[in-house]
Amino acid sequence: MSGLREYMAQEERITGGHRACTGCLPMVSLKQALMNIKDPVVVGIATGCMEVVSTIYPYTAWNVPLIHNAFENAAATVSGVEAAYNALRRKGKIAKKIKLVAFGGDGGTYDIGLQSLSGAMERGHNMLYICYNNEGYMNTGIQRSSATTMGAWTSTSPDGAVKLGKQQLQKNLTEIMIAHDLPYAAQADIGHWKDYMKKVEKAAAIDGPTFINVLSPCTLGWKFPAEDGMSIAQMAAETCIWPLYEAEHGYRKLTYKPREKKPVREWLKMQGRFRHLFRTEHEPMIEELQRQVDRRWDLLLRLCGETP
């Protein structure tokens, strides 16, 4: 991984002047990823927050070839690009190595794009797919997705007399991707940026299908001051609600282990979307979430060989 000076000297692959919110960490996750890929890149991006704020006609913030496709088919689109690229290389019309990258939010990855992503990974297309996970459909009104944390307020899982926000645990998409027996899959957060960028560099250097799931807090949907975003991402790893690890052909390895695992409530209280859970009568929801986080963390420790 290059040093900060080398990064600062690079030509930006995504420029300023886009229309993302102040302190938008999903945009940071895209910019940091592209800074750590050495080869020329071609990007496919699903409809979503990052596409909308960066490609409003007739303007674009992208300094690389970009394909915008529908919400659900970023992986399928880049699969087709890879097929065309391979054909042109066989014919001698392209000689240079190009890295194909697909970006999608959690709505376009966990939910309506899951079939497209699974198919591309199973077929073995040579691409890096990065999910910028902000735990909801933030572009269309802050609706819940299957990536949304249990108990969170969203516009389609509001807190009230009957239900206290989203009732279900978030889908473990990283493990679903590992089950595809990929050469490389990883989970990262934007707060531990060195860890994230190392994972991007590693994934981009592999010929074959690779996947990174990067937690990217949303100041609007999560309801926190823009300047707190990095701290919230870091606390997700400290509480183990979002562990940082990688897997090569299914062999898992922790890339960060907190010295002292913090209670999940420390992460929840940093975000307005969980404010309703801190009423005395709603304490059981926090306790249940803590039990589930502990269970998943204990299982991951076993899978990583950290416990007998």
Q: How confident is the model at residue 5 (pLDDT cuts 50, 70, 90)?
A: confident
Residue-number span of the structural domain to which 245 is assigned: 4-303
pLDDT tens digits along 214-239: 999 999 999 999 999 999 999 999 99
- Split into its structural domains, the chain has a count of 1
Q: How confident is the model at residue 10 (pLDDT cuts 50, 70, 90)?
A: confident
In-domain check, residue 131 = yes
In this structure, what DSSP letter does residue 245 have? E
Give the rounded percent of residues in the chain with a pLDDT score beyond 70: 98
Q: What is the CATH number of the domain that holds 159?
A: 3.40.50.970
In-domain check, residue 129 = yes
In-domain check, residue 50 = yes
pLDDT tens digits along 204-215: 999 999 999 999
* Number of Cβ atoms within 10 Å of the Cβ of 249: 10
- CA 187/CA 37 separation, integer angstroms: 18
In-domain check, residue 153 = yes
- CA 256/CA 19 separation, integer angstroms: 33
Q: What is the mean pLDDT of residues 183-193?
A: 98
Q: What is the pLDDT of residue 1?
A: 59
- Note the pTM of the prediction, 2 decimals: 0.96
Backbone angles phi, psi at 306, to 5 degrees: -85, -15
Q: What is the pLDDT of residue 217?
A: 98
Bridging pattern class, strands 128-133 and 99-105: parallel
In-domain check, residue 212 = yes
Does residue 8 surpass a pLDDT of 90?
no
Q: What angle, rounded to 10 degrees, do the helices at 193-204 and 25-35 form? A: 50
Q: Say what the alpha-carbon torsion angle 88, 89, 95, 101 is, to the nearest 10 degrees.
A: 80
In-domain check, residue 308 = no
In-domain check, residue 291 = yes
